[in-house]
């Protein structure tokens, strides 16, 4: 790919799953890219403190896998070489949803890789480190953004370095991939701008995750229950080095515990016994990790009239999805591809950074639409979920149920459904008139 330089220095805050792909994109357009990370970064695929969620199941959807392969050629080969386990989605993963235990298993031609989150991040980090004009500085905590004399323009970033000293560095563009978005919100406040509108869905989810070795046969399983019955879920996937990761998910006052006996007892309460029966004789490797996820949150930066120049939040700093659907890393990678597309088309313009954020947010909002809806609709069905329910929620839920039944009968619809779930196609493809008609024509019950 040929590219044109558009600036001297870009700074990325956070070396996580949004920051690293974004840094790779910026490397083609800025003389130098600096990634500031508060953590010590491991020299291998081990855990670090800044990403506690990484101890839990992290599925990489096909949409994310494809985006990362676009940014890092041969990415899938890297995953396989590092021990990630190829899983034929639809065929090898046993999906259990009410009415289908299991959902019909078919080869849909979609292969996903299962591995730990630290392994995915490690592979991406290694690829980023190979680029000569990117520097990753560890132990550097970004503190705030510096405004230039031109109103509402970011011109530099202030951070505390590993020696506890404050440093200020100039930046033509700062990408905030800190997961939280506090720098962006702080800057908006300091310039007298209102914060972005937010959509919040209070799900109050609890995760408990064990890493196991399982003697004998095991296979990937996902078990879901209806919101009316509490919505307990269990996810069991293979990991590199012959291990398995099992995550149990509950809500409100029924969250999974952090001790092995309690974990097994909770697994027995899942709607089907498959996960319990597979793991009861397993050996645990390390402690059971727990995580509380209070709410999904989407910040509507696209609705801000004048967004500061030289600043762009990305990844979780824009939208944090209910993790059960495994979307966050994939959307982050797709946003990095979107950024590349915009920089590519603007590089020849007089001022490529002028209005970049506005265009980015408008297109990112489109990207986010499908994953947000896929998670929000079932979440809002749970009676204790807090959030604005659409007037047609019941219709949407019934349509989703009907779609499940149609997909079970028809391999082509099943394939389309999986492509949507994996963020390869927008949800609108499932609203085409012929599909809607066929869903309507189904008998009321299986
Ligand atoms: C329990 C759980 C399970 C999940 N499961 C999945 C899944 O199955 N599939 C999936 O795709 N997604 C999953 N996600 C979502 C996924 O973890 C995030 O969407 C993804 O990591 C977003 O990347 P990010 O770079 O925005 O944030 P992160 O990856 O969290 O990275 C943020 C980085 O910024 C650094 N940082 C923060 N503040 C500063 C600062 N001031 N200065 C310097 N550095 C800073 C942090 O140390 C960290 O390295 C899950 C999330 C949770 C909570």
| Ligand 1 atom with least separation from CA of 36 | 43
Alpha-carbon span 401 to 424, nearest angstrom: 21
Over residues 228-253, the pLDDT tens digits come to: 788 899 999 999 999 999 999 999 99
Nearest protein Cα to ligand 1, atom 4: 323
CA–centroid distance, 339 to ligand 1, in Å, is 19
Q: Across 14-109, where does the E strand assignment appear?
A: 30-36, 85-89, 94-96
Q: Which two tokens stand for residue 241?
A: 């080095």
Res. 445 pLDDT band, cuts 50 70 90: low
Cα distances (Å, whole numbers) of residue 66 to 103, 110, 128: 25, 11, 17
How many whole angstroms from its chain centre is CA 217? 30
In the block, tokens 């398995």 appear at 244
In sequence order, which residues have a C-beta less than 8 Å from that of residue 396 and are 6 or more positions away?
A: 377, 390
**Terminal alpha carbon distance of the chain:** 52
Over residues 283-336, the pLDDT tens digits come to: 999 999 999 999 999 999 999 999 999 999 999 999 999 999 999 999 999 999
Nearest protein Cα to ligand 1, atom 51: 323
Alpha-carbon span 65 to 316, nearest angstrom: 18
What is the best residue among 64, 67, 144, 179 to mutate for testing ligand 1's pocket, by most ligand atoms within 8 Å of CB? 179
DSSP for 249-262, please give it: EEETTB---SSHHH
Q: What is the DSSP letter of 105?
A: P
Residues with C-beta less than 6 Å from any ligand 1 atom: 13-19, 36-39, 50-51, 53, 56-59, 141-142, 177-179, 207, 291, 293, 315-317, 323, 326-330, 332
Task: Give the residue from 62, 107, 24, 115 showing the smallest Cα distance to 336.
Answer: 24
Over residues 50-78, the pLDDT tens digits come to: 999 999 999 999 999 999 999 999 999 99
Residue 125: CA atoms inside 13 Å, Cβ hemisphere, count?
Answer: 22
Contact 234, 244 (CB under 8 A): no
């Amino acid at each position: 790919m040929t590219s044109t330089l558009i600036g001297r220095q870009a700074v990325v805050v956070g070396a996580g799953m949004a920051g690293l792909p974004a840094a790779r994109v910026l490397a083609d357009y800025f003389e130098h890219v600096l990634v500031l990370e508060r953590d010590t970064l491991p020299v291998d695929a081990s855990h670090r403190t800044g990403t506690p969620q990484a101890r839990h199941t992290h599925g990489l959807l096909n949409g994310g896998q494809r985006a990362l392969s676009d940014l890092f050629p041969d990415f899938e080969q890297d995953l396989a070489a590092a021990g990630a386990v190829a899983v034929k989605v639809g065929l090898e993963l046993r999906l259990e949803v009410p009415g289908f235990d299991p959902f019909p298993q078919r080869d849909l031609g979609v292969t996903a890789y299962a591995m730990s989150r630290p392994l995915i991040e490690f592979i991406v980090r290694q690829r980023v480190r190979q680029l000569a004009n990117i520097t990753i500085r560890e132990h550097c905590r970004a503190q705030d953004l510096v405004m230039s004399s031109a109103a509402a323009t970011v011109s530099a970033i202030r951070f505390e370095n590993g020696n506890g000293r404050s440093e200020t560095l100039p930046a033509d563009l700062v990408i905030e991939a800190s997961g939280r978005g506090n720098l962006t919100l702080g800057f908006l406040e300091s310039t007298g701008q209102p914060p972005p509108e937010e959509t919040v869905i209070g799900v109050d989810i609890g995760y408990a995750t064990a890493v196991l070795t399982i003697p004998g046969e095991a296979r990937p399983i996902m078990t879901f229950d209806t919101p009316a019955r509490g919505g307990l879920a269990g996810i069991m996937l293979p990991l590199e080095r012959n291990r398995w990761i099992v995550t149990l998910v509950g809500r409100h006052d029924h969250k999974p515990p952090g001790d092995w006996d309690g974990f097994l007892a909770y697994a027995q309460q899942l709607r089907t016994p498959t996960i319990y029966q597979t793991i009861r004789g397993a050996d645990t490797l390390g402690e059971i990790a727990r995580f509380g996820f209070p709410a999904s949150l989407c910040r509507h930066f696209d609705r801000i009239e004048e967004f500061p120049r030289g600043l762009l939040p990305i990844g979780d700093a824009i939208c944090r999805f209910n993790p059960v659907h495994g979307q966050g890393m994939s959307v982050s990678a797709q946003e990095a591809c979107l950024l590349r597309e915009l920089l590519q088309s603007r590089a020849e313009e007089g001022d490529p950074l002028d209005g970049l954020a506005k265009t980015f947010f408008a297109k990112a909002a489109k990207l986010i639409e499908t994953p947000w809806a896929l998670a929000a609709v079932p979440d809002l069905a749970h009676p204790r979920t807090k959030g604005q329910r659409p007037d047609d929620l019941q219709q949407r839920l019934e349509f989703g149920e009907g779609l499940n039944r149609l997909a079970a009968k028809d391999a082509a619809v099943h394939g389309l459904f999986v492509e949507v779930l994996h963020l390869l196609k927008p949800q609108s493809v499932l609203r085409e008139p012929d599909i809607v008609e066929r869903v309507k024509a189904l008998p009321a019950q299986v």
